Amino acid sequence: MGAEDFGPHFSKGTSMSDFISANLPYLLAGISVGGQYALIAIGYTMVYGILRLINFAHGDIFTVAAYCMVYMNATLPLYLSLPLTIILTVLLGFSVERIAYKPLRSAPRMSIMISAIGVSYLLQNLMWYITGGLAKQYPTLPFISNPVSIYTATTKMVTLVTPVLTLVLVVALVQLINHTKVGMAMRAVSKDFETSKLMGIKINKVISVTFIIGSFLAAVGSMLYFSNYTAVTPTAGAMPGLKAFVAAVFGGIGSIPGAVIGAFIIGIAENIIKALGLTSFSDAFTFALLIIILIFKPTGLFGEPQQEKV
Amino acid sequence: MKTVKILIALVLAVCAVTVIYFAQSAKDSLPGLLETMDAQQLAAQDDKMLKARDRVTDALEEGDREKTLRNLTRYLDGFSDKLTFSDGVNRELMLFKNYPVLTAGSIFLLAIALALVVYALDKGKKFKKLALPLVLIAALYCGIYIVENITGVNSMLMTVLKKGAIYALIAVSMNLLNGFTGLFSLGQAGFMLIGAYAYAILSIPVENRAQVYQYYAGGLIQFSLPPLLSIVIAGLAAAFFAFLIGLPVLRLKSDYLAIATLGFAEIIRAVFQYEGLGPITNGSNLLRRFTVFSTALYPFAIAGVCIALITLLIHSTYGRAFKAIRDDEVAAEAMGINLFAHKQLAFVISSFFAGVGGALLAMYQTTVQAAAFTSAMTYEILLIVVIGGMGSISGSVIASFLFVAASEWWLRFLDNETMIGSFQVPLLRSGFRMVAFSAVIMAVVLFYRKGIMGDKEFSLARMIGWTRHRKEAHDER
C-alpha cells in the first residue's frame, strides 16, 4: 500500500507511512537479530538449566563456527562446507564439555565458571593465532544473502529466513524435550541433578546431548548472523554471546520459550535504540535492561523461583 | 648482648649516613667535575673529544640522567688512552655514577640498623616478628631502585615489574571480593576505567588541555590536581560508583551478580565513550599528556601501601565477617552479621583499590582509552586470582608478577619464527605465545585448582620451619 492511497486530505497517513518506511528497516533488523540471539540463547539457557553454569565459551564457539565456514567455503562446495561446519562446531562444543567441564563436576560452581572463562580465553587466542588477527571476509551464502524488498525497505533474505527458521527449530526442540526419552532425561536432570543420577539416568550422556544441541543451534545462528555482516574477527562473537545470555536471563534462565521471547525483545529494543540515533548506547541498553529485570524480577519473565535450602 | 647489638646498629647507621651524605653531594657535582677534568686535560683536547664532552653537558642540561650516564661512559671509554685523572676526580666520578645504588644500599643498611635496635630493645618480644619483614621490605624497595638504575627505566625487567605491581594491586582488590567475601563480581574493568579516567582527567596539566581536548575546545575542566591527590580521588570515584551500583546489585546471588556486574562494566564503557560527555571524557579519543611516574618505586610504593591496607582489613573483625559470609551466608546472618552492609563494604573497598589500580595503569600506559577496558581485562585479572589461589593475598601478588612476566617477556620467543639449522620449528609464529599461555592457564584451572598458594599466605616462619623440618628428617636418616 503506497502513501497515495490515503489521498491528499489524509495528511496524517502520509506521515504515518513516512514513519513506517523510516523505521521498518530497524524493525526488520531487530526481528532478524532477535532470532539469531534466540538461537545462541537456547544454548546458554539449556546448559544453565542442567549444570547451573554460565557457559562463557558459548559466544566463542559461535565465532569458531563462523571461521569454520570462512575456511571451508574457500576450498569446498557449499553442500559440503555447510554440514561440515555444523559437525565441527558440534564436535567442539562436545569436546569443550568433556575436557573442561566434566573433570570439575564435583567442584564448586565458581570453579566451573572460571574454567568456562579460561576456555573462552583459549579459544579467542587460538582464533587470533590461526587467523593472524586479521578480519576475514564471510562468504556470501546463496539464497539467504539475496536482496529482497519489503514495502519500502530493502534487506537481505536472511532477515525473513531467520525468524521462520528460529521458530521451526524451537518447536522441534520443544517437541524433542517434551516427547522423547532423552528430553525426559534432560528435564529430570535440570529438576534434580542428584536424584536423577540415582534413578539411573546417564548424566554425562544427557549433558553431552545438551551441549551438542546448543552448539548445533549456535552454528546455525552463526551462519545467519554473519551473513548480515561482512567480516569475522576473533572477538566478534563475544558481544552477541553476552547479549544472548542477557536474553536468556531476561526470559528466565532455564526456560526455552523465555529465552526466545527475551532474545526477540532485546533484538528489537536494541534496534529501536539505534533508530533513535543512540547507536553507541545500544550495547549499554541491553545491560541496563538486564540489571533492571534482575532487580525487579530476578528469575526473569518465565523462570521458576528457586527455593533456598539451608 | 643488647649493647653489642645497639653498637653494631650504631656503626651501621653511621656508615650509612656517611655514604648517603657523600652520594648526595656527588649527585650534582658533574658540571664542576667536567670543568676540573677539562683543566687537567687541556693538552690532549681535540675536536672529537670536545664533541663527546658537549654531548654529556647537553644531556645534563636536559635533566636526563640515563642519557647523561650513557654519554659520560662513552666519553670516558672512548678516550681512555688520553684521559688521566687525579684520584679525587676518579673518586667523584665513581660516586656520581653510582649514587643511586649507594643511596639505596645505605637506606637498606639503615633499615637493618633499625631492625637491630628494635630487636635489642624489645622486651615483650612484641616487635620481634616485625623486624625480619621490615628488613625484607626495605631490601625489596632498595633492590628495585638499584636494578632500575642498572638496567634503565624502560628495560623489559622494569616494565614487567611496574605492570606486575599494578596488576598485583588490582588482583588483590578482586581477591578481596571473590576470594574473601565470596562475591563473584566481574565488574573490575569498569571500576579500573573509572579510576583511570578520573586520574587522567584531573591530572592533565592546564597547558596541555587545549591539545588533548582539541575536538572539544579545550574541555570543560580548566584546573589540574597533583598526582597523589588525583589518585585518591580516582579511588573515591570508583568507590562512589560501586556504592550506587551495589545498592541494587548486591542483593543478587552468585551468577546473577557476576552477569550484572559484567553488564555494569559494559555500560560504564559505553557511557565514557559517549560524545555528549566529550568536554570531560574526550569522547572516544585518547586521554594523554597527563602526569606519569618516572620511577618504578612509585607504583611499588602505592601498590604496597594499598595491599598492606587490604591485608590489615582482612585480619580485622570486618575481614572475619567477610570470610564468614563466604563460607556460609545463612550461618553468618544467624551469627548477627549484617549481610548487606558487609557485602556493600567489601564491594566499595575493593572498587576503591581497583580505581587506584586503574589510575596507576593509566600512568603506566601514559594514555587511556575506554575501549581497552573490556570484559577480557576482567577475565585476565580473575585468572590471575585463580592462579594465585582464591583467598590468598600473597598468591595474587606472586601470580600477578608471573602472569605479566610470562605474557610480556618469557614467552616472547614463541612469537618469533625460529630456525634451528635449516629446520624451521613448527607452530612458532605471531600469536602462539598467547595460545601456549592460555593452555597453561587452562591446565592450572583444571588440574591445580587451588592455585599457587591455595588459601594460605606466604609465610617466612613456615618456610624456615619447613626447611628445618626437612633438615631434621634428613639428619635422622
B222 versus A91: the higher-pLDDT residue is A91
Between strands A147-150 and A136-137, the pairing is: unpaired
pLDDT tier at B474, thresholds 50, 70, 90? low
A8 versus A239: the higher-pLDDT residue is A239
Q: Kindly state the percentage of chain B with pLDDT values over 70.
A: 93
A3 versus A65: the higher-pLDDT residue is A65
Which chain B residues in 159-218 lie under 8 Å from chain A, judged by CB atoms?
178, 184
Please determine, for residue B50, whether its predicted confidence score (pLDDT) is greater than 80. no
**Where in chain B are the domains?**
2-150, 153-405
Q: A310 CB near a chain B CB, below 8 Å?
A: yes
With CB atoms and an 8 Å threshold, state whether B435 touches A283: no
Helices (H), chain A: 11-51, 58-75, 78-96, 109-131, 157-179, 181-191, 193-198, 203-227, 238-251, 256-275, 282-296
What cell was used for B115? 631492625
Cα A134 from chain centroid? 24
Average pLDDT (B305-324) is 94
How many other C-beta atoms lie within 10 A of the C-beta of residue B44? 12
CA distance B185 to A161: 39
CATH for A29-295, among 3.40.50.300, 3.40.109.10, 2.60.40.2550, 1.10.3470.10? 1.10.3470.10
pLDDT tier at B470, thresholds 50, 70, 90? low
Please determine, for residue B140, whether its predicted confidence score (pLDDT) is greater than 60. yes
Please determine, for residue A25, whether its predicted confidence score (pLDDT) is greater than 60. yes
Least Cα separation, residue A23 to chain B (angstroms): 24
Least Cα separation, residue A129 to chain B (angstroms): 5
pLDDT tier at A91, thresholds 50, 70, 90? very high
* Chain A interface mutation, best of B255, B269, B374, B428, highest count of A Cβ atoms under 10 Å: B255
Q: A104 CB near a chain B CB, below 8 Å?
A: yes
pLDDT of residue B202: 92
B358 versus B248: the higher-pLDDT residue is B358
Least Cα separation, residue A172 to chain B (angstroms): 29
Q: Please report which helix (H) or strand (E) contains residue A147, including its range.
A: strand A147-150
Please determine, for residue B128, whether its predicted confidence score (pLDDT) is greater than 70. no
Please determine, for residue B82, whether its predicted confidence score (pLDDT) is greater than 80. no
pLDDT tier at A305, thresholds 50, 70, 90? low
CA distance A55 to B273: 29
CA distance B122 to B135: 16
- Grouping H, G, I as helix, E, B as strand and the rest as coil, residue B86 is coil
Q: Kindly state the percentage of chain A with pLDDT values over 70.
A: 93
**Average pLDDT taken over every residue of chain B:** 85
pLDDT of residue B215: 83
Contacts of B351 (CB under 8 A, 6+ apart): B173, B187, B191, B238, B239, B241, B242
Average pLDDT (B212-232) is 86
CA distance A151 to A20: 9
Average pLDDT (B435-457) is 85
With CB atoms and an 8 Å threshold, state whether B248 touches A291: yes
Q: A307 CB near a chain B CB, below 8 Å?
A: no
With CB atoms and an 8 Å threshold, state whether B274 touches A235: no
Of B248, B253, B254, the CB nearest to A295: B248
Helices (H), B122-226: 128-151, 156-175, 188-203, 206-212
- Phi and psi angles of residue B443, each rounded to the nearest 5 degrees, phi first: -60, -40
Least Cα separation, residue A133 to chain B (angstroms): 8
- What pTM did the predictor assign? 0.84
Average pLDDT (B379-392) is 91
Contacts of B325 (CB under 8 A, 6+ apart): B181, B182, B332, B337, B339, B342, B343
B47 versus A180: the higher-pLDDT residue is A180
Burial bucket for residue B332 (CB in 10 Å: 0-12, 13-18, 19+) = buried
Which residue type sits at A131?
Answer: T
Model confidence pLDDT, tens digit, residues A250-275: 888 888 888 999 999 999 998 888 88
Please determine, for residue B108, whether its predicted confidence score (pLDDT) is greater than 90. no
Average pLDDT (A54-64) is 92
User: Residues for chain B: how many in total?
Assistant: 477
Which among A134, A147, A123 is positioned nearest to A60, based on CA atoms? Answer: A123
Cα B278 from chain centroid? 31
Are the beta carbons of B393 and B457 closer than 8 angstroms?
Answer: yes
pLDDT of residue B40: 67
Nearest residue in B to A113, CA atom: B255
CA distance A218 to B102: 63
**Where in chain A are the domains?**
29-295
Distance (Å) of CA B259 to CA A19, A287, B386:
36, 9, 18
pLDDT of residue B193: 96
With CB atoms and an 8 Å threshold, state whether B264 touches A287: yes
Average pLDDT (A2-15) is 47
What cell was used for B300? 611499588
pLDDT of residue A10: 43
Please determine, for residue B220, whether its predicted confidence score (pLDDT) is greater than 90. no
Please determine, for residue A9, whether its predicted confidence score (pLDDT) is greater than 50. no
CA distance B473 to B288: 59
CA distance B373 to B287: 14
Burial bucket for residue B447 (CB in 10 Å: 0-12, 13-18, 19+) = exposed
B153-405: what fold? ABC transporter involved in vitamin B12 uptake, BtuC (1.10.3470)
Please determine, for residue A11, whether its predicted confidence score (pLDDT) is greater than 60. no
Which residue type sits at B128?
Answer: K
Are the beta carbons of A244 and A60 closer than 8 angstroms?
Answer: no
Structure-derived torsion over alpha carbons of residues B449, B178, B163, A116, reported in degrees to the nearest 10: 50
pLDDT of residue B9: 85
Please determine, for residue A197, whether its predicted confidence score (pLDDT) is greater than 60. yes
pLDDT of residue A1: 40
Average pLDDT (B158-168) is 93
Most confident of A133-137, A244-248, B141-145: A244-248
